[in-house]
Amino acid sequence: MYTWQDARGGRARAGEEAAGESHASLLSRLSGSSVYSGYGSATHSYNRENGLVPDGAASLCTIGDYAAMRLCGACEPVMDATQAAAIGLFEPETGRFDEDVIVEAGMEPDLFPRVAAAAEEAAVGRTNDGIPVYAAIGDSQAGFIGGAGIRKGTLLVTIGTGAQIALYSGERVLAEGLESRPMPGGGWLLTGAALAGGKSYELLERFLREAAELAGGAAPERLYSRMNEAAEAELDRLEREGIKPELTVSPSWLGSRSEPEASGSITGIREDGFTVPGLIAGFLQGTVDELLDMLAPLPAGLRAGIARIAGTGNGIRRNPAMRRLLAARTGLPLRTAAMTEESAAGAALHAAVMSGLYRSHEHAMLAAGNAGGQLEG
């Protein structure tokens, strides 16, 4: 999103490829750090090359930054480091965007917004009612604050349309397949994202619905509930018989960030094991395995420090079989947050810290975590 001096906003269009090399790939190569398609810097690079930057644009920013501006009538965005990291070309060590790379890529450094270097600089202004407004924070960081309950030792697993894992670390850790994102109040959030997640379950639901229609029967109502029940019954059977699922599902239906052209697969198909309940359980197990396998590159000490699992997103909250598989794979207790909109709750807790209602983000998380939630495992 771009802003004008009179605080009018505009919408940018994202592009996929430039001649010979994608803009995300170009910026990754120039900066030596990962810039993915959809990052603000890659979108702006495409817009600039294709004449899509609006005339008179004064700055680019995220939607959250723009909303904060409009709430208090400001004309200049103030960006938190968590949002700056999500745009790309941001150097967490210096708290600044990499101007050398920006210039080398043919962009104007002045269009990149000011990043708040300290808590007091994060104040954007006040509303007409005198309510203070602070710079927006990243949605994954907000989701962790609102959903993890305890900052250290909690692995947050989120399964919605997409899926991701997040783990707090006091130090920056560079591990293949994981992003190290700055956290409000200090430290880092190690995040791994899968593109399919709950979309994989939706794909299976569509397949089963089409199969039911092809067989001449009406598609069952509440098919997701039936699928969940079938998955739990299959897990009960496997547990009674002391066997492992025969089907192995790799849910890379939408590719991955590192391999956009990757595809999914179903293996281990045998005559007596290819059943609808087995297929449903296999899809769920594949989603769990894809996420938790991302922990493998972490330092052993950091992995060993994981003491609990927090689950968020409807793919966990509404699916007992998914929660059961997560608890079984990790051997750790799994708790779902009491709040259903964890990112919104995390943003509110962050604002409470910034305004002095809580002395730290950790204190705010503990206070919110004590509100309860469902515990399994």
Under the banding of pLDDT at 50, 70 and 90, the label for residue 261 is confident
CB count within 10 Å of CB 177 equals: 15
pLDDT tens-place string over residues 224-241? 888 999 999 999 999 999
Provide, rounded to the nearest whole percent, the portion of the chain with pLDDT above 90.
61
Higher pLDDT among residues 307 and 262, named by residue: 307
- The Cα diameter of the chain in Å comes to 69
User: What confidence score (pLDDT) does residue 13 get?
Assistant: 34
Q: Is the dihedral of CA 11, 119, 352, 179 positive or negative?
A: positive
pLDDT tens-place string over residues 174-233? 888 898 999 998 999 999 988 777 888 888 988 888 888 777 765 666 788 889 999 999
Q: Does residue 340 carry a pLDDT above 50?
A: yes
- What are the C-alpha distances in Å from 49 to residues 17, 102, 107? 11, 13, 9
In terms of Cα–Cα distance, which of 69, 67, 101 is closest to 87?
A: 101
> Poorest-confidence range of 88-97, 151-160, 201-210, 348-357?
201-210
Q: Does residue 265 carry a pLDDT above 70?
A: yes
In terms of Cα–Cα distance, which of 71, 54, 69 is closest to 7?
A: 69
CB count within 10 Å of CB 99 equals: 15
pLDDT tens-place string over residues 347-377? 999 999 999 999 999 999 988 866 555 555 5
pLDDT tens-place string over residues 66-81? 999 999 999 899 999 9
Mean pLDDT of the chain: 87
Task: Please list the residues that pair with 312 across neighbouring strands.
Answer: 158
Under the banding of pLDDT at 50, 70 and 90, the label for residue 6 is very low
Task: Please list the residues that pair with 337 across neighbouring strands.
Answer: 373
Q: Return d(Cα 250, Cα 128) in angstroms, integer.
A: 52
In terms of Cα–Cα distance, which of 115, 113, 145 is closest to 351?
A: 145
Q: Return d(Cα 306, Cα 289) in angstroms, integer.
A: 17
Q: Return d(Cα 353, Cα 359) in angstroms, integer.
A: 6
Q: CA torsion angle for 321, 322, 323, 327 (degrees, to 10)?
A: 100
Higher pLDDT among residues 220 and 297, named by residue: 297
User: What confidence score (pLDDT) does residue 176 get?
Assistant: 85
Confirm if 24 and 41 have CB atoms less than 8 A apart.
no
| Pairing relationship of beta strands 373-376 and 334-337 according to DSSP bridges | antiparallel
Q: Does residue 8 carry a pLDDT above 50?
A: no
Q: CA torsion angle for 306, 311, 313, 314 (degrees, to 10)?
A: 150
User: What confidence score (pLDDT) does residue 308 get?
Assistant: 94
Average pLDDT over residues 244-258: 79
All residues at 6 or more sequence positions from 139 whose CB lies less than 8 Å from its CB, including other chains: 343
User: What confidence score (pLDDT) does residue 20 get?
Assistant: 61
In terms of Cα–Cα distance, which of 80, 153, 147 is closest to 118?
A: 80
Q: Does residue 136 carry a pLDDT above 80?
A: yes
